[in-house]
Each structure stands twice: as structure tokens, then as C-alpha cells.
Amino acid sequence: MPDDTHRKRAKTSGPRADPVQLRAVFGTNLRQLSASAPSIAELCRDLGINRTQFNRYLQGEAFPRPDVLDQICRYFGVDARILLEPLKAEFDRGGAAGGPLHVDGYGHGGLNRKVAAPAIDVTRMPLGPCLLYWRSFLKKDYLSVNLATSVVRPDGKIGMTSIMPRNIAQALGLSVRLKDRRRIGEMYQHPTGVSFALRTQGTGLRQFAFMEYSYMGNTDIYTGECMNTLRFGHLGQISDLILLERLTPTRAAMIAARRQIGYKHITDMKPIVQGYFT
């Protein structure tokens, strides 16, 4: 008797996904994940992917081979499933009004008991691209400014990716290779704000920060303190101020944000950033 398992599965699994739509979703998600990179050219060099081919991925014109997809997922610290479903869909599961996101079946207790993931209020979380302003550990009147991006992963956790600017790494005597300047970690939500933990790939450097919601009435600005696990420069400090600015995920905003990254004097910053650090 012929095995009709495959035929039954095909009938019950619903319609097959449209390849064009899958490529478009992948391209949109990849653009958001790539927002933290200083440039697409540097990102392509670090991934070892041809720039022309990577642009085709970004535009939804092509889908990578399994080995290339695995490499991209490992680089950004995400599961492949997140690249097949719109990232925004993860945010919207809490309701059309953007309410809290609940993820069922997250984690297991000591007796293999399912533990519900905490609710994520996506209206208050800085999901997507943002700018991080760190006080320089070399000069008090300078800031280290870099792009970061945060996404809700399929496991319910919030993954965070950032890139240390090249001139900052050079000033600190660290490797300037993009893969060594990549920071990966997670972000967490608290009643009064958010925290994150990041590790820099090429060093033993770790960063831990807590920031409160809103600054001077601006709900897109989060302020707090950050601590490093290594001391740099003659100042010898391991903790100082940090500011996070949530960005609108548009092409114009990303281009403007990339112009701000690097080692910047405080007086070159916008007034609200200057006011916080001075």
C-alpha cells in the first residue's frame, strides 16, 4: 500500500507561501537588522558576501542559499524563522493597538514546566533601529555614537546588535575588523525602563546598562548609566552616562543616523544630547 503521508501533510498544511512574498519579507527584515552596521560595504566584507548579491537580498530580488542564510543568522544572532515573517508581526501580536506582546511556551522550569514569557509593552520598548550615545572613556567631552537595532526573537527574547565605530576601536587599541567590533546581546523591559547586556565579539568587553523611559518629555529618548567590564584610558572609569535615541526606520533617518556615528565632541550633538551629558 503506497505511503500517502506526504500527500496528507500537504493537504493539511495550508497553501504554500509565495516565493516573491517570502523574498520581500526577508529583504525588509534584513534591512532592519543591517541598520546597526556602519555601512553595507563593511557588512558585506565581514560576512564575505558579494555586495551586488547582498543588495539583491535587501531588495527582495533573491533569497540566499541555506549556508549563506545560516551565516547571516549567526552574525545577527537570530533564528532563521525571524527572517521569514515580518518583524512587525511579532510586535502586533499583542493587538492592533500595539498592546503588550505575550509569548506562550517560553522556556522550561526545573520540572520541564512551561514558563510564560513576560509581557513586552512594544509602545515603550525601543525596538528597531536606535542611536546609542556613550560617554568616552578617553576624553570626558567626547561621545562614542553608534547605531544599534533590537528585534523580538521567536523565543520571546529581545535580541540587540550594535557595531563599535572603527575610530573608537582604534583609539582604544582594539581590533578594527568589523566582526571584532560587533556587539551582540539582549534587551530587557522593567517597570521604569529598559536594560541591556552586550558583549563585543573580538574582546572580553561587556557592557551593562539601565535606562529610564522618557527624558525631558521626549518618549524617544532613554537615559541612564552604563558599565564596562574593562577600564580604558587615563580616566580609569568603568561606568558613565548613556543615552539611547529611538529612530524612525526610514531610509532618510538611517542615512542621517549613519552620519552621526563615530567619535564626536559633545558640542556637535543636538541640544537634548548636550544637555544630558553636560
Domains and CATH numbers, the chain: 17-90 (1.10.260.40), 124-277 (2.40.160)
Q: What is the DSSP letter of 117?
A: P
CA angle (59 as vertex; 179, 69 as ends), nearest 5: 45
Nearest alpha carbon to residue 18 among 79, 73, 84: 84
Q: Indicate the pTM of the whole model.
A: 0.66
Q: What is the DSSP letter of 80?
A: G
| pLDDT interval class at 97 (50, 70, 90) | very low
Looking at residue 101, its pLDDT comes to: 36
With 60 as the cut, is the pLDDT of residue 95 above it?
no
With 60 as the cut, is the pLDDT of residue 218 above it?
yes
| pLDDT interval class at 266 (50, 70, 90) | very high
With 60 as the cut, is the pLDDT of residue 58 above it?
yes
In whole angstroms, give the CA distance from residue 278 to residue 275.
Answer: 5
Nearest alpha carbon to residue 25 among 73, 110, 84: 84
Mean pLDDT of the chain: 77
Do the Cβ atoms of 210 and 224 come closer than 8 Å? yes
Looking at residue 271, its pLDDT comes to: 93
| pLDDT interval class at 86 (50, 70, 90) | low
In whole angstroms, give the CA distance from residue 239 to residue 260.
Answer: 23
Cell numbers for 57: 537580498
With 70 as the cut, is the pLDDT of residue 21 above it?
yes
Nearest alpha carbon to residue 247 among 126, 123, 88, 130: 130
Contacts 24+ apart (CB under 8 A), 217-221: 218/272, 219/124, 220/126, 220/245, 220/246, 220/247, 221/245, 221/246, 221/272
Gyration radius from the chain CA atoms: 20
Task: Determine how β-strand 221-228 pairs with β-strand 239-246.
Answer: antiparallel
